[in-house]
Structure 1
Amino acid sequence: MSSPDSAAEPRRRLSVPRILLVVVVVAAAVSAPFAFRTVQDRLDAGAARTSSFAPYVDVTNTPQFSFEDPSANAAGNVVLGFVVSSTDVVCQPSWGTAYSLATASTGIDLDRRIARLRQRGGDVTASFGGASNKELAAACADQAKLTAAYRSVVDRYRLTSIDFDLEDGRETAAVMARRAQAVRTVQAEQNAAGKSLDVWLTLPVGTSGLTSVGVAALKAMLAANVSVAGVNALTMDYGSSGTGRTMTSLVEASLTSLAGQVATAYGVSTGEGWQRIAATPMIGQNDTADERFQLTDASTLIAFAREKGLRRLSMWSANRDNNCGVNYVDTTIVSNSCSGLDQEQGAFTALFNEFTAADPATGPSSAAGVAAPPTDDPSTSPYPIWSALTAYAKNSKVVWHHNVYLAKWWTQGDTPDAPVTNAADTPWTLIGPVLAGETPLATASASATAIAYATWNPTATYVAGDRVRYHGVVYQAKWWTLGDVPGAPVDDPSDTPWQTL
């Protein structure tokens, strides 16, 4: 459409040099990528950026969400939350205060599950903070220890992306500065080692954008020369400001305000500001009773994100991406394990996956030829090597072809990695690969306890709860027994009266 003044403007004749210049410019424009899903903007030293989707997963929520299992989670990448300060040692990172990094590996097999997701071609971002508990910088005043805490998480999980979910509206400038300096140090160390570390800030927003505390948190990071990939808006729980408005209008208004704030903070154009933001809605029922983010809202957000050029979409949370079921009476009460909507399992994840530039990761591409299966070594396997002659009870773990499997029910002779059409057809669940440096799990022994248990006596009668020592291992009787050798091989593990402690 021409402007009102275009008719009065004299026409300019194009010289040959100008024509050649126009041809060059048009050719460059045609060859350049078009639309956000394929555009590669170079805002950070030439680094290519594309749209992505990575839902949040609450690592410590019960029931546990199997983010590594493609049948449970179709997303290629996830954001795992939340790393916070331990309640026992303030400068020590923990997962939701429930697990240290070490006990998360043994208690919920977190390291192996992350490795399994990477087998599928996906990856993880670790999120620090969250709505509950204390983010490390808020609890740890020792700069060196704080830096070491962040570094330990990045190193343990080989992270290329971290997220700071900062929802404490009373956070001080000292805490922000302490965090920013520690993050800058860790990011510089990664860069010096030839690695990259994206840093995201996840912050609450209203229809006017970030709060003053959120703006201060962003400025603190930028002032410390942290390369901040972008700001992720928590587009949820608008409260009284959202009364009478649709979720779509609230989300779009808050993101529009945020784009201007981000552009100002970075000193870039509004268009570039859009490319430095992400959005994370709370799917289904929000904490505000009359706010419900529907699948139709998700579709509208995807279209809006493509139009504006948002870098990333997420959601809170993958744990909640399913129906609450008939026994959950009041769906206006927020659940950590379901959305409160009448939906198919994984419906939001499947929809948001459409925003991702590449197809969701489904596993590494196969190389030419068929490689021989790896040989398992008992000395480097955390669990027994699977045997067709052994019967395994539910929840038994075995190693097969360098991977750890969990028995879903009693099984014997079923090869863990046998091809099946449906996951329900196999009694085994793949947990993840055997990790470097692993050795067989230590069996509890009498020497490891202060109690001196009596040696098992083949002529003695034992009842449920009795404990004995046999060949250095402690056993507990499950029922009355006489003459049954502890640890003796059995066809069905449920047949033995002895339980290893």
Structure 2
Amino acid sequence: MVTVRGRSQGRLCEIEPPTRSPGRYCFDESEGSMGASGAAPRDEEQPVARRLSWTRVGLLLLVVAAVAGGAFVSVTEAADRTETTTLSWSVPYVDVTLTPTFQFQDPSANPARTVALAFVVADPEDGCAPSWGGYYSLEEAGTDLELDRRIDQLRSAGGDVMVSFGGLVNDELAITCTDTGDLTDAYRDVVERYDLSAVDLDVEGTAVADLAAAGRRAAALADLQRERAADGSPLAVWLTVPVAPTGMTAEGVDLVRATLAGGVELMGVNVMTMDYGGAKPAEQSMIEATEQALRAAAEQVRALYEEIGTTLRDRQVWSRIGATPMIGQNDVEGEVFTLDDAAALSSFARATGLGRVSLWSLNRDAGCGASFADVAVHSNTCSGVDQEALAFVDEFAGLGGDGPAVRISDTVEDAGRQPVVDDPATSPYPIWRAEAQYPAGYKVVWHGNVYQARWYAMGVDPSLPAAAGVPSPWALLGVVETSESAPEPVPTVTDVTEVWNPDALYQRGARVFLDGLPYEARWANRGAAPGTLFPIGPEEAWEPLFDLPGQPAGS
């Protein structure tokens, strides 16, 4: 997969509008490709049990029914070795830097409790510095993408995240960071910043065969796992690799072998059941190829554990296998993963005890609409098949139990948080006003929360639930932190010296200062003070000559 800031770090070859990536990225049709996620560690010699990762409350014992309402669960096996009760962990991917931003923290946009955020890669200017897609440092993602706030919001509503490193485009950190200590520091920075209990290493392309990088990666992750375990915060690690119907390639097998030999406690191996190309017979369906690939990969994993002296029962093997299809149209022409295929994969996961099921990606889980021609559509923002929005993730979300898919709460529950007053002096973005006109992307504060306009909004209270069948123009990003302060406007000109005078007659184009900020007259006026409530509407006599945090570029 490929991800881009307005480009996808996900893995589709973008060939249709409406969202055009500045560059193309294509996948080698001889392998599968995309990204992955995580869960929790367990004793190799014991029946498999998973933990509630975000609360870190230890191992579950036989009580899967009690957690069907939303645990960070992969697979549970009865202690008496009966193999009838299993849970597969459903964790869809989100292409973090793709435009438009997918609001994974918003329950109306995301039915999943846990999401895998992709991809953290090496900074192009510093091979040992983690970045989101090569475009945002961790700090920049916090400010420009509100990533920290959105993660906090998802967790406050009972969800969790995992971070995926790598992807098809850009370099995974182990490729460019050749010092193991520095590499450990880079992984640690990400794990600690987002308080992760699971990570995924998505190794694709030429990186699969780079055993030197595999050794560095394994050593760094093993060290980090030991550190986290000593602190009582275990770190689960998934390894994501391409697959064919015949199983992992020889290079992929060697990569898993090197990872285990390096001391990593692998939660599992996630295979990218997509883009089979010439490896799949033309007459074989996508679900047939997927099930064949998973069975072959399971036997390969069994053999790899035998090599290190660990014998796994069937359920233990399957609990270490993940599947990640590309929903809808794949990069390879003629390969389409349908909703019927998704239902079949769900049944397969339940029957075998498959450790996890992901999908690439939540950004694509919608129909493409009338703007596309009635042909195969390769897009990062829609699936290319006829579907209701979120139909694929809804199908897989039910894997966490026997009941209906569990949706995260849209209510922030935090008993320890004190009420926040919407004070312009301390709020990080302008306070919402009913009369103001908000373009798409504008951020506001209202009732102690930060919201962002999905599209043009005016007069719609962000805090009120939307009417049935009518989506709200506002996305909830998360709470205002007590440490935050008022935004600092940034002037875009430096040559304004005249202070606004209420008695002066100003002609169009005149420039003045008010409260230290520059403005330009839109038309001739007298006595019309420049606006100080943001955003400044088009009916105001003065155009602001400064940028304000929270406003979209060009607004």
- TM-score, with structure 2 as normaliser: 0.75
**Match 2:275 to one of 229, 233, 237:** 237
The AA in structure 2 aligned to 1:41 is: E
Equivalent residue, structure 2, for 1:398:
444
Q: State how far apart, in whole Å, the 1-side matches of 2:188 and 2:444 are.
A: 32
**Match 1:324 to one of 363, 368, 391:** 368
Alignment CA distance shift 1:382-1:276 (3 Å): same
In the TM superposition, residue 471 of structure 1 has moved relative to its aligned partner by 2.7
**2:99 paired with 1:56:** no
Greater mean alpha carbon deviation, residues 490-499 or residues 141-150: 490-499
1:50-108 residue CA offsets vs partner (Å, 9 max, x unmatched): 42101111111122222111112211111111111111222211111121111112222
Alignment CA distance shift 1:263-1:306 (3 Å): same
Q: State how far apart, in whole Å, the 1-side matches of 2:165 and 2:122 are.
A: 9
The AA in structure 1 aligned to 2:232 is: G
In the TM superposition, residue 218 of structure 1 has moved relative to its aligned partner by 1.6
In the TM superposition, residue 438 of structure 1 has moved relative to its aligned partner by 2.4
In the TM superposition, residue 259 of structure 1 has moved relative to its aligned partner by 0.5
Tell whether the 8 Å contact from 2:446 to 2:462 is kept in structure 1 after alignment: yes
Equivalent residue, structure 2, for 1:246:
285
Q: State how far apart, in whole Å, the 2-side matches of 1:118 and 1:366 are.
A: 9
Q: Secondary structure at the match of 1:222?
A: helix
Q: State how far apart, in whole Å, the 1-side matches of 2:215 and 2:524 are.
A: 65
The AA in structure 1 aligned to 2:94 is: V
Mapping of residues 147-226 of structure 1, within 5 Å: 147-170=184-207, 171-226=209-264
Equivalent residue, structure 2, for 1:257:
296
Structure ranking higher on relative contact order (CA contacts 8 Å, 6+ apart): 2
Q: Secondary structure at the match of 2:108?
A: coil
Alignment CA distance shift 1:410-1:236 (3 Å): closer
Q: State how far apart, in whole Å, the 1-side matches of 2:482 and 2:412 are.
A: 23
Q: Secondary structure at the match of 2:206?
A: coil
- What residue ranges of structure 1 are gaps of 5+ in the alignment? 1-30
Q: Secondary structure at the match of 1:188?
A: helix
Greater mean alpha carbon deviation, residues 87-96 or residues 274-283: 87-96
In the TM superposition, residue 110 of structure 1 has moved relative to its aligned partner by 1.5
In the TM superposition, residue 461 of structure 1 has moved relative to its aligned partner by 4.1
Alignment CA distance shift 1:33-1:469 (3 Å): closer
Mapping of residues 278-289 of structure 1, within 5 Å: 278-289=322-333
Q: State how far apart, in whole Å, the 1-side matches of 2:163 and 2:482 are.
A: 21
Equivalent residue, structure 2, for 1:411:
458
In the TM superposition, residue 374 of structure 1 has moved relative to its aligned partner by 4.4
Mapping of residues 20-59 of structure 1, within 5 Å: 40-41=76-77, 50-59=87-96
Mapping of residues 419-434 of structure 1, within 5 Å: 419-422=465-468, 424=470, 428-434=474-480
Give the alignment's Cα RMSD to 1 decimal.
3.3
In the TM superposition, residue 299 of structure 1 has moved relative to its aligned partner by 1.0
Equivalent residue, structure 2, for 1:132:
169
1:365-386 residue CA offsets vs partner (Å, 9 max, x unmatched): 99899x9954445555312444
Alignment CA distance shift 1:460-1:270 (3 Å): farther
In the TM superposition, residue 173 of structure 1 has moved relative to its aligned partner by 1.5
In the TM superposition, residue 333 of structure 1 has moved relative to its aligned partner by 4.2
Equivalent residue, structure 2, for 1:68:
105
Q: Secondary structure at the match of 2:117?
A: strand
Q: Secondary structure at the match of 1:209?
A: coil
Equivalent residue, structure 2, for 1:363:
409
Q: State how far apart, in whole Å, the 1-side matches of 2:278 and 2:472 are.
A: 50
Q: State how far apart, in whole Å, the 1-side matches of 2:270 and 2:224 are.
A: 21
Alignment CA distance shift 1:325-1:155 (3 Å): same
In the TM superposition, residue 196 of structure 1 has moved relative to its aligned partner by 2.0
Tell whether the 8 Å contact from 1:381 to 1:439 is kept in structure 2 after alignment: yes
1:284-342 residue CA offsets vs partner (Å, 9 max, x unmatched): 11111121111111111111111111011011111111111122126424211111111
Alignment CA distance shift 1:330-1:365 (3 Å): closer
Alignment CA distance shift 1:419-1:250 (3 Å): closer
Structure 1 or 2, whichever has the larger Rg, is 1
**2:355 paired with 1:311:** yes
Tell whether the 8 Å contact from 1:137 to 1:178 is kept in structure 2 after alignment: yes
Tell whether the 8 Å contact from 2:130 to 2:138 is kept in structure 1 after alignment: yes
Mapping of residues 95-114 of structure 1, within 5 Å: 95-114=132-151
The AA in structure 1 aligned to 2:336 is: R
In the TM superposition, residue 351 of structure 1 has moved relative to its aligned partner by 0.9
Q: State how far apart, in whole Å, the 2-side matches of 1:288 and 1:190 are.
A: 40
Identity of aligned residues (%): 41
Tell whether the 8 Å contact from 2:62 to 2:77 is kept in structure 1 after alignment: no
Alignment CA distance shift 1:205-1:426 (3 Å): closer
The alignment covers a number of residue pairs equal to: 459
Q: State how far apart, in whole Å, the 1-side matches of 2:135 and 2:313 are.
A: 42
Greater mean alpha carbon deviation, residues 211-220 or residues 436-445: 436-445
Give the number of the structure whose residues are more often helix, by fraction. Answer: 1
**Match 1:290 to one of 325, 334, 342:** 334
In the TM superposition, residue 421 of structure 1 has moved relative to its aligned partner by 3.8
Q: State how far apart, in whole Å, the 2-side matches of 1:136 and 1:423 are.
A: 44
Equivalent residue, structure 2, for 1:383:
429
Equivalent residue, structure 2, for 1:479:
522
Alignment CA distance shift 1:467-1:247 (3 Å): farther
**Match 1:440 to one of 486, 490, 496:** 486
